[in-house]
Amino acid sequence: PAMILDTLALAAVQYYGVNLAYYWYHWMLHQPWSGPLYRAHYVGHHKRDYPVATLRRDRYSASGGSGWFENGGELIFGLPVLGLILAAFWLLSRGTAVSLTAVVLWVLITGEVAHSSYHLNDNPESHPDIPVWLHRRVVRLPCYRRFQKLHDIHHGKRDRNFGFCDFQMDRLFGTYCDVCPEYLAQARRSHRDAAAYEAASSDAALGPGTIRRFIPVLLAVT
């Protein structure tokens, strides 16, 4: 039991540490002084691919491909993760490095799957990370619509909601916002799945319903 508790405590510390690093890295991508990172992420993703007027597509990539490596997003977020994992195995004990790798991959995979889903219609033609049928399960998660709204606000306000599936760091550092400005609310109302937004609960609590629906999604992704 003591070993299990130690393992859980280590994973919890690593989880919040990774989320802290992820938060500030994402924040940096929104600062003009980050140069090519700013141009690739903020200018490319926010201004070119998904401005407020075009929050969703049938295909993630505007050019019609799968979305992988077409806008640099996988490189921007993937290369730092690879470097972190390599450093962990170089500097830490094997058990600590394995635990950290699992936590990092969990944050990366869930964040990437959720983020790309936020920008797809409910019944898209393609999904860059998972099969379309799995995306249709993701959008039925009880917490999904609220998280999607929070990410829409991120596109409407560049200094708010830097999380993807976990917004605790935004609450901690004062960047959390769950109120849509009118121009963004109008854009959301014009979307073809607007009725689903209105019908969905805004409760993002991790309850039994969320867990029950999330298990098959998790199994399919992993």
Q: Which residue has the higher pLDDT, 137 or 219?
A: 137
Q: Which residue has the higher pLDDT, 88 or 214?
A: 88
Q: What is the reported pLDDT for 65? A: 47
Q: Convert the pLDDT of each residue in 148-196 to its tens digit.
A: 999 999 999 999 999 999 999 999 999 999 999 999 999 999 999 999 8
Q: Which residue has the higher pLDDT, 161 or 141?
A: 161
Q: What is the reported pLDDT for 92? A: 74
Residue 137: which of 161, 153, 113 has the closest Cα? 113
Judged against a pLDDT cut of 90, whether residue 126 lies above it is answered with: no
Residue 61: which of 131, 135, 125 has the closest Cα? 125
Residue 110: which of 10, 217, 8 has the closest Cα? 217
Judged against a pLDDT cut of 70, whether residue 85 lies above it is answered with: yes
Judged against a pLDDT cut of 90, whether residue 14 lies above it is answered with: no
State percent of the chain over pLDDT 70: 80
Instruction: DSSP for 126-182, please give it.
Output: --SSS-HHHHHHHTTSTTHHHHHHHHHHHHHSTTS---SS--HHHHHHT-------H
Residue 72: which pLDDT band, with cuts at 50, 70 and 90?
low
Residue labelled with tokens 């201004």: 47
Dist CA 8 CA 76 (whole Å) = 30
> What mean pLDDT, rounded, does the chain reach?
82
Lowest mean pLDDT among 85-99, 107-121, 178-192: 85-99
Q: What is the reported pLDDT for 91? A: 76
Q: Do residues 129 and 112 make contact, with C-beta atoms less than 8 angstroms apart?
A: yes
Q: What is the reported pLDDT for 121? A: 94
Judged against a pLDDT cut of 60, whether residue 218 lies above it is answered with: no
Query: What's the distance, Cα to Cα, between the start and end of the chain in Å?
Result: 27
Q: Convert the pLDDT of each residue in 191-214 to its tens digit.
A: 999 998 887 765 554 444 444 555
Output DSSP code: residue 40.
I
Q: What is the reported pLDDT for 73? A: 56
Q: What is the reported pLDDT for 207? A: 46
Q: What is the reported pLDDT for 203? A: 53
Q: What is the reported pLDDT for 78? A: 67
Judged against a pLDDT cut of 90, whether residue 95 lies above it is answered with: no
Bridge partners, 120 (sequence order): 57
Residue 139: which of 192, 203, 220, 217 has the closest Cα? 217
Dist CA 25 CA 22 (whole Å) = 5
- Assigned token pair, 106: 């969990």
Average pLDDT over residues 78-99: 77
Dist CA 197 CA 195 (whole Å) = 5
